[in-house]
Amino acid sequence: IEAKMRSGLGLLLVLSGCRGLVQPVPSSKYAKRRFVLERIAQALTPVVLLSSWPVSASSETLGRLKSGFQNINFLLANWDSETFKSCPTTQVALAAECDRLPDKIPTALGLRSTTAPLYKVEKLFQDAIQSGDVDDIDSWTEATDAFIQHSTSAQEYAYTASFGEYNPSGGKDQVAKYMDLSKKELVQARDALRDVLTQLAVDIN
């Protein structure tokens, strides 16, 4: 590692000699590695700008993220009509007495079709961050991590709801319970994706 550090520092001095980038090198091993990487990145900036690196996220990436957001928002806005399959007609039915459609959740999240807008959403996030359109990497990471976390939880609760009626001590009340939990997670996933789109300056109205 030390040999690589010395080699990296040598390259750094060559690249940055005329740019005033020579600064005191930290003593900590990890701080030193970070120092070298940061200085080399600064020295190579003109090379990056003249390369074929994209200047903005592709319209396809932005369009898919926006469509995915709209699909989730539609599902939440029409939750009852979209997720209730049938209810008893002989009396006033409670949610815990109805047949549900848990598969609506993974469908909206792009987990049921390779042509879904949010299919392989991590790849879409990667394409967007590489475009350089994101100003605050910490806010971006927080938003994308939140979406992955809450969308995964929403899918897991929906999956549990799919079998809630058939598990030991299960029933339609258990299905309703996990559908409610899935909806709460889906709301947070939707909000996180809105944050992502806002950071990419995408109009979601």
pLDDT digits 0-9 by tens, 14-33: 444 444 444 555 555 555 55
Half-sphere exposure for 153 (CA within 13 Å, toward CB):
16
pLDDT, tens only, 79-130: 999 998 887 666 655 666 678 899 999 999 999 999 999 999 999 999 998 8
What pLDDT shows up at residue 53?
43
CA distance 174 to 56: 46
Q: Is the pLDDT of residue 138 over 60?
A: yes
User: Which percentage of the chain shows pLDDT scores above 90?
Assistant: 50
Model-level pTM? 0.69
pLDDT, tens only, 147-167: 999 999 999 999 999 887 766
What pLDDT shows up at residue 164?
74
pLDDT-derived band of residue 55, with 50, 70 and 90 as boundaries?
very low
Strand pairing category for 99-100 and 84-86: antiparallel
| Least confident range of 114-118, 172-176, 182-186 | 172-176
69 with 123: CB under 8 angstroms? no
Residue with tokens 């929906």: 158
In angstroms, how far is CA 163 from the centroid of its own chain?
27
60 with 54: CB under 8 angstroms? no
In angstroms, the Cα distances linking 51 to 43, 46, 75 are 14, 9, 42
Mean pLDDT of 117-146: 91
- Please state, rounded to an integer, the average pLDDT across all residues of the chain: 78
What pLDDT shows up at residue 19?
43
What pLDDT shows up at residue 69?
98
What pLDDT shows up at residue 112?
93
Would you state the structure tokens that stand for residue 75, as one six-digit string? 């599902």
pLDDT-derived band of residue 52, with 50, 70 and 90 as boundaries?
very low
Amino acid residing at 158 = A
